[in-house]
């Protein structure tokens, strides 16, 4: 428990740092960020939006940087991330709210499938080392190096454009479906999610395979595995002993992997015009919607931190040593 | 006394003929086929980055009126909607893509050496603070952060390779620092470091001439990994349009133009497949080299990578009967020698 509390403390500190960065980056760039925004939109910004921008960035307000920073925190704690420029006068939180669940479901499901599948394949490849299964490794290396959006584009081209097995954009059919918890909609949403999901799984699978296989090969030389074999335990059980120990680095490297997965799935969503946070981010970048970009950074950070905390809980569950320490 | 990794590798292994030892001394790197393929591929891209801009038949930004966008004898990869020559864009784009990625890798590696080895060697509260900072940067989602930074940068700076590389490096050093810290922790108490400390060497000198040479293989792996990360990030920033495509001629920006030009829907594969393939191949080359280094660092991986034929010749049982140890302890040294004449490195001895 102490371990988890310490981790929780760390994530709170990280969140504070992220929020602080989010505040200070616009202030570190030379020039007046609001002027830059207004100029680049060439008069397309409604006066009220400009006013709210000034208020949000704390410019023209007769306060020091510290006062602005406190005001920023105050807004944030009231759930106020400012107004979106490109979808004015929508609140940034509203825009993000309608998109984030698509992303969490898609990325969450794909990551879990990828982790389970990759770890299993890695275990099997390590167990049968020296056999033809080893050829999985160079192939997965290629996939690992392949950019997500390129894989996404290829899948889109073959399975949606040419074969027309799957829809080529969107997260659901606008016609004939009502959004909600009903059969047709869920089936339709699943149908739309397959290609983006396969992209994320395909691109992230290799990392789990290689990580697990390498760790498994290393663990297989440990004395307790030798002992298990000497006791003529069934192979299944021996693998279980080794795998339980080999999986630990995979779980603890989850943080690093997740950063890659998030990056990749943002791009994947853009290729498939999936109605998630990636597509919103893309539109925000194209529309130079600074409040929205900053808000998305914060929300993604919070979700990633929560996922990491979850991975830590799993780790504590898997590794008794962390529990003993407490 | 400076003990390099290569010295460790050349230490004679029990029960081996001396001539094998001599052979090993020549070069361990290009022996692995993965390594060779990776190095050759990378070499091609380096050459492309150097001579690409001179080979380009047109100015990549030159706008001409054109009736067709399809590939032709004059425009091998067709043209954008503005009539810009895509082949020229591809050739010119190699340089910024490579320069930014390697720059970012170099800066991040220097940062990770300074922070990681300092944390591992000095220890105490310095270690706590530095590890904390590294972990924060490891957990923060890098791309969204970079988009926030990039979107506030003045437009003209998108072509400033040093600035873009530096910003990417700021988000990419943490992994290397963590790995290096772990290794320096185990190196710190070795005899030769102890000896240097007792003889009164200054801390930075111990770090630079006693620790760093022993971390070369890990440093190389961490550098390549960071470059790989930088390529992905740089391309993503270009693809998203965060880097102004009017001044930035990277492969990512070509893909941005292709997306904006509806290239996928209209079947103009010659527009986005070549840059995408180049990125994938460049990434693969780095990953392959990294694989080779991994096998060097951890000899168990190499012994496991025996092909069936080689394993048979080495007397390793063909089918794994008892779970995980087909390569038995008795045979490992021999089999390693035959598969790849490189030494067994016991990192933790």
Does residue B45 surpass a pLDDT of 50? yes
Evaluate whether ipTM surpasses 0.90: no
Tell me whether residues A300 and B144 touch, CB distance under 8 A: yes
- B116 close to A (CB below 8 A): no
Tell me whether residues B280 and A147 touch, CB distance under 8 A: yes
Tell me whether residues A235 and B132 touch, CB distance under 8 A: no
Tell me whether residues B151 and A286 touch, CB distance under 8 A: no
Tell me whether residues A256 and B136 touch, CB distance under 8 A: no
What pLDDT sits at residue B104?
Answer: 93
In which band, very low, low, confident or very high, does the pLDDT at B304 lie, cut at 50, 70 and 90?
A: low
- B239 close to A (CB below 8 A): yes
Chain B residues in contact with A300 by the CB 8 A cut-off are 141, 144
Compute the CA torsion angle B116, B120, B126, B132 (nearest 10 deg): 60
B182-217 pLDDT, tens digit each: 888 878 878 888 888 889 888 888 888 888 887 887
Tell me whether residues B232 and A263 touch, CB distance under 8 A: yes
Q: Closest Cα partner for A252 from A321, A325, A300, A318? A: A318
Tell me whether residues B325 and A226 touch, CB distance under 8 A: yes
In which band, very low, low, confident or very high, does the pLDDT at B330 lie, cut at 50, 70 and 90?
A: very low
Distance from CA of B177 to the nearest CA of A (A): 13
A114-166 pLDDT, tens digit each: 999 999 988 888 887 767 777 777 777 777 767 777 788 888 888 877 777 77
- B177 close to A (CB below 8 A): no
What pLDDT sits at residue B2?
Answer: 38
In which band, very low, low, confident or very high, does the pLDDT at A190 lie, cut at 50, 70 and 90?
A: confident
- What is the spatial distance between Cα B297 and Cα B27, in angstroms, rounded to a whole number? 15
Domains of chain B by start residue, with CATH? 1-31+305-349 (no CATH), 33-298 (1.10.3720.10)
What pLDDT sits at residue B27?
Answer: 44
Chain B residues in contact with A263 by the CB 8 A cut-off are 141-143, 232-233, 236
Tell me whether residues B140 and A142 touch, CB distance under 8 A: no
What pLDDT sits at residue B318?
Answer: 42
DSSP tag of A253: T
φ and ψ of B92, to 5 deg: -70, -35
Chain A residues in contact with B316 by the CB 8 A cut-off are 130
Q: Closest Cα partner for A11 from A311, A322, A317, A297? A: A311
Tell me whether residues A235 and B322 touch, CB distance under 8 A: yes
What pLDDT sits at residue A181?
Answer: 65
Which of A71-80, A130-139, B154-163 has the highest average model confidence (pLDDT)? A71-80
Considering only residues B169 and A161, tell me which one the structure prediction assigns the higher pLDDT.
B169
Whole-prediction pTM value?
A: 0.78
**Nearest-Cα residue of chain A relative to residue B146:** A297
The number of angstroms, rounded, from the C-alpha of B253 to the middle of its chain's C-alpha atoms is: 22
* Nearest CB neighbour to A26, from listed B139, B152, B286: B152
Does residue B106 surpass a pLDDT of 90? yes
Does residue A38 surpass a pLDDT of 60? yes
Chain A residues in contact with B241 by the CB 8 A cut-off are 282, 285-286
DSSP tag of B113: I
What lies within 8 Å, CB to CB, of A68 at 6+ separation is A23, A57, A58, A61
In which band, very low, low, confident or very high, does the pLDDT at B46 lie, cut at 50, 70 and 90?
A: very high
Distance from CA of A325 to the nearest CA of B (A): 18
Distance from CA of A224 to the nearest CA of B (A): 12
B244-302 pLDDT, tens digit each: 777 778 888 888 888 887 777 777 778 888 888 888 889 888 888 887 777 777 666 66
Quick one: average pLDDT of A24-53? 68
What pLDDT sits at residue B245?
Answer: 74
The number of angstroms, rounded, from the C-alpha of A166 to the middle of its chain's C-alpha atoms is: 24
* Nearest CB neighbour to B175, from listed A218, A228, A256: A256
Output the six-digit token pair for B57.
């038949």
Please list the alpha-helical segments (H only) found in chain B.
Answer: 5-10, 18-26, 33-55, 86-112, 118-122, 124-139, 142-152, 161-172, 174-187, 191-198, 203-205, 216-240, 251-260, 269-297, 299-304, 308-313, 329-339
Does residue B327 surpass a pLDDT of 80? no
In which band, very low, low, confident or very high, does the pLDDT at A113 lie, cut at 50, 70 and 90?
A: very high
Neighbours of B335 (CB within 10 A): 22
Distance from CA of B1 to the nearest CA of A (A): 31
What pLDDT sits at residue B335?
Answer: 38
What pLDDT sits at residue B9?
Answer: 41
Tell me whether residues B236 and A267 touch, CB distance under 8 A: yes
Percentage of the residues of chain A whose pLDDT score is greater than 90: 2
What pLDDT sits at residue B108?
Answer: 93
Chain A residues in contact with B149 by the CB 8 A cut-off are 25
Chain B residues in contact with A30 by the CB 8 A cut-off are 154
Does residue B343 surpass a pLDDT of 60? no
**Nearest-Cα residue of chain A relative to residue B231:** A147
- B288 close to A (CB below 8 A): yes
A276-319 pLDDT, tens digit each: 888 888 888 887 778 888 888 888 888 888 888 888 888 888 87
Does residue B234 surpass a pLDDT of 80? yes
In which band, very low, low, confident or very high, does the pLDDT at B103 lie, cut at 50, 70 and 90?
A: very high
**Nearest-Cα residue of chain B relative to residue A300:** B141
**Nearest-Cα residue of chain A relative to residue B274:** A150
What pLDDT sits at residue B42?
Answer: 92
In the block, tokens 């390099």 appear at B4
Tell me whether residues A282 and B240 touch, CB distance under 8 A: yes
- What is the spatial distance between Cα B212 and Cα B338, in angstroms, rounded to a whole number? 31
In which band, very low, low, confident or very high, does the pLDDT at B78 lie, cut at 50, 70 and 90?
A: confident
Full DSSP string of B252-270:
HHHHHHHHHTTTTTTT-HH
Does residue B340 surpass a pLDDT of 60? no
Tell me whether residues B141 and A304 touch, CB distance under 8 A: yes
Percentage of the residues of chain B whose pLDDT score is greater than 70: 73
């Amino acid at each position: 428990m102490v371990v988890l509390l310490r981790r929780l403390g760390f994530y709170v500190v990280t969140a504070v740092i992220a929020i602080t960065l989010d505040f200070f980056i616009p202030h570190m760039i030379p020039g007046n960020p609001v002027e830059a925004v207004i100029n680049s939109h060439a008069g397309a910004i409604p006066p009220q939006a400009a006013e709210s921008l000034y208020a949000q960035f704390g410019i023209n307000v007769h306060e020091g940087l510290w006062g602005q920073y406190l005001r920023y925190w105050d807004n944030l704690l009231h759930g106020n991330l400012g107004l979106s420029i490109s979808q004015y006068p929508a609140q940034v939180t509203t825009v993000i709210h309608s998109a984030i669940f698509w992303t969490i479901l898609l990325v969450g499901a794909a990551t879990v499938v990828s982790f389970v599948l990759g770890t299993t394949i890695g275990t099997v490849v390590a167990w049968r080392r020296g056999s033809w299964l080893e050829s999985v490794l160079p192939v997965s290396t290629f996939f690992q190096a392949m950019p997500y959006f390129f894989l996404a584009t290829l899948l889109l081209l073959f399975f949606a454009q040419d074969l027309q097995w799957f829809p080529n954009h969107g997260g659901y059919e606008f016609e004939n479906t009502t959004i909600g918890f009903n059969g047709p909609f869920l089936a339709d949403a699943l149908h739309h999610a397959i290609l983006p999901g396969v992209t994320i799984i395909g691109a992230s699978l290799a990392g789990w395979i290689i990580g697990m296989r390498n760790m498994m090969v290393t663990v297989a030389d440990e004395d307790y595995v030798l002992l298990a074999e000497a006791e003529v335990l069934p192979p299944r059980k021996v693998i279980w002993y080794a795998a339980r120990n080999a999986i630990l680095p995979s779980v603890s490297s989850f943080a690093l992997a997740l950063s890659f997965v998030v990056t990749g799935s943002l791009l994947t969503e853009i290729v498939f015009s999936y109605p998630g946070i990636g597509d919103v981010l893309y539109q925000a970048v194209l529309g130079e919607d600074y409040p929205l970009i900053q808000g998305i950074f914060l929300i993604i950070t919070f979700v990633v931190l929560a996922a990491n905390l979850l991975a830590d809980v799993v780790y504590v569950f898997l590794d008794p040593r962390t529990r003993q320490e407490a | 006394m400076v003990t390099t990794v290569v010295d460790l590798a050349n230490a004679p292994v029990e029960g081996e003929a001396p001539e094998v030892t001599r052979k090993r001394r020549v070069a361990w790197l290009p022996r692995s086929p993965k390594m060779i393929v990776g190095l050759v591929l990378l070499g091609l891209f380096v050459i492309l980055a150097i001579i690409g801009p001179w080979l380009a038949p047109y100015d990549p930004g030159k706008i001409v009126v054109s009736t067709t966008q399809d590939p032709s004898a004059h425009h091998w990869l067709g043209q954008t909607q503005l009539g810009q020559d895509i082949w020229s864009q591809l050739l010119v784009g190699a340089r910024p893509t490579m320069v930014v990625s390697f720059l970012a890798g170099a800066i991040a590696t220097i940062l990770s050496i300074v922070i990681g080895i300092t944390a591992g060697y000095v220890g105490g509260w310095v270690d706590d603070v530095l590890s904390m900072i590294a972990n924060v940067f490891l957990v923060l989602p890098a791309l969204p952060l970079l988009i926030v930074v990039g979107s506030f940068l003045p437009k003209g700076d998108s072509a400033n390779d040093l600035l873009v590389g530096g910003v990417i490096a700021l988000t990419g050093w943490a992994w290397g620092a963590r790995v290096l810290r772990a290794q320096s922790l185990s190196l710190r108490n070795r005899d030769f470091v102890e000896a240097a400390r007792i003889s009164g060497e200054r801390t930075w000198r111990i770090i630079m001439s006693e620790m760093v040479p022993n971390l070369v293989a890990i440093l190389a792996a961490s550098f390549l990994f960071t470059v790989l990360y930088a390529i992905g990030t740089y391309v993503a920033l270009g693809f998203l349009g965060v880097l102004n495509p009017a001044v930035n001629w990277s492969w990512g920006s070509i893909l941005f133009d292709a997306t904006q030009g509806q290239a996928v829907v209209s079947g103009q594969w010659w527009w986005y497949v070549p840059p995408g393939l180049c990125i994938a191949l460049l990434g693969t080359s780095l990953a392959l080299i990294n694989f080779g280094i991994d096998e060097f660092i951890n000899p168990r991986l190499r012994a496991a990578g025996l092909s069936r034929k080689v394993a048979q010749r080495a007397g390793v049982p063909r089918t794994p009967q008892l779970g995980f140890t087909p390569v038995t302890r008795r045979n490992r040294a021999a089999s390693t020698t035959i598969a790849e004449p490189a030494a067994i490195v016991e990192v933790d001895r």
